[in-house]
């Protein structure tokens, strides 16, 4: 499956009182990585003009290690599964290089493509499926 990689450097405003990345910031990091992934495979402006929107409906996240100031995090994202009306993106937040890579967090994100006028999920078919389908690495 095609992976998308996004790098984010931890800044002071990402930190909480204890000096590590606040749990809510991880959701923002993951969201930034998903936007980059989707923009790389789908024409979101064309979707919007057709009245379609990409919507997250569920996120399950596991926090494994604390990230701190100046850490460089790499977020690896890929579409894991497409069903009839929903899909799942898997994401990992990694720190380090080579043999020293640590998993900081990982998440499973369930999403739908909706008809903006009705708010209802549309079928993952045709050009929508083509744009989101898991590709080859």
Residues 57-85: tens digit of each pLDDT: 999 999 999 999 999 999 999 999 999 99
Distance (Å, whole) CA 83 – CA 112: 10
Residues annotated as catalytic (active site), given as ranges: 16
Fold of the CATH domain 4-132 = Thiol Ester Dehydrase; Chain A (3.10.129)
Stretch (H or E) spanning 24? helix 23-41
In this structure, what token pair is assigned to residue 135? 């590709």
The backbone torsions φ and ψ at residue 103, rounded to the nearest 5 degrees and listed phi first, read -85, 120
Phi, psi for residue 37 in degrees, rounded to 5? -65, -50
Length of the chain: 137
The dihedrals phi and psi of 3, each to the nearest 5 degrees, come to -105, 145
Task: Indicate the average pLDDT of the chain.
Answer: 93
Helix (H) or strand (E) holding 131: helix 126-132
How far apart, in Å, are the Cα atoms of 13 and each of 70, 74, 94, 110?
Answer: 11, 18, 20, 28
Task: Compare 1 and 109 and report the one with higher pLDDT.
Answer: 109
pLDDT band at 135 (very low <50, low <70, confident <90, very high): low
Q: Is the pLDDT of residue 137 over 70?
A: no
Numbers of helices and strands, H then E, in the chain: 3, 6
Look up residue 126 and give its two tokens: 């045709």
Per-residue pLDDT, averaged over 91-95, amounts to 98
- For 34, the token pair is 């998903």
pLDDT in tens, 12-49: 999 999 999 999 999 999 999 999 998 888 888 888 99
């Amino acid at each position: 499956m095609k992976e998308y990689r996004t790098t984010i450097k931890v800044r002071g405003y990402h930190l909480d009182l204890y000096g590590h990345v606040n749990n809510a910031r991880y959701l923002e990091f993951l969201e930034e990585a998903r936007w980059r992934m989707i923009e790389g495979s789908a024409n979101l402006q064309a979707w919007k003009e057709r009245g379609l929107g990409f919507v997250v409906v569920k996120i399950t996240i596991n926090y494994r290690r604390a990230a701190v100031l100046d850490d460089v995090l790499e977020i690896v994202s890929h579409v894991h599964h497409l069903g009839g009306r929903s899909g799942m993106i898997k994401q990992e937040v990694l720190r380090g290089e080579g043999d020293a890579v640590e998993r900081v967090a990982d998440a499973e994100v369930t999403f739908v493509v909706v008809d903006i006028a009705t708010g209802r999920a549309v079928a993952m078919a045709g050009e929508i499926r083509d744009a989101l389908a898991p590709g080859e690495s």
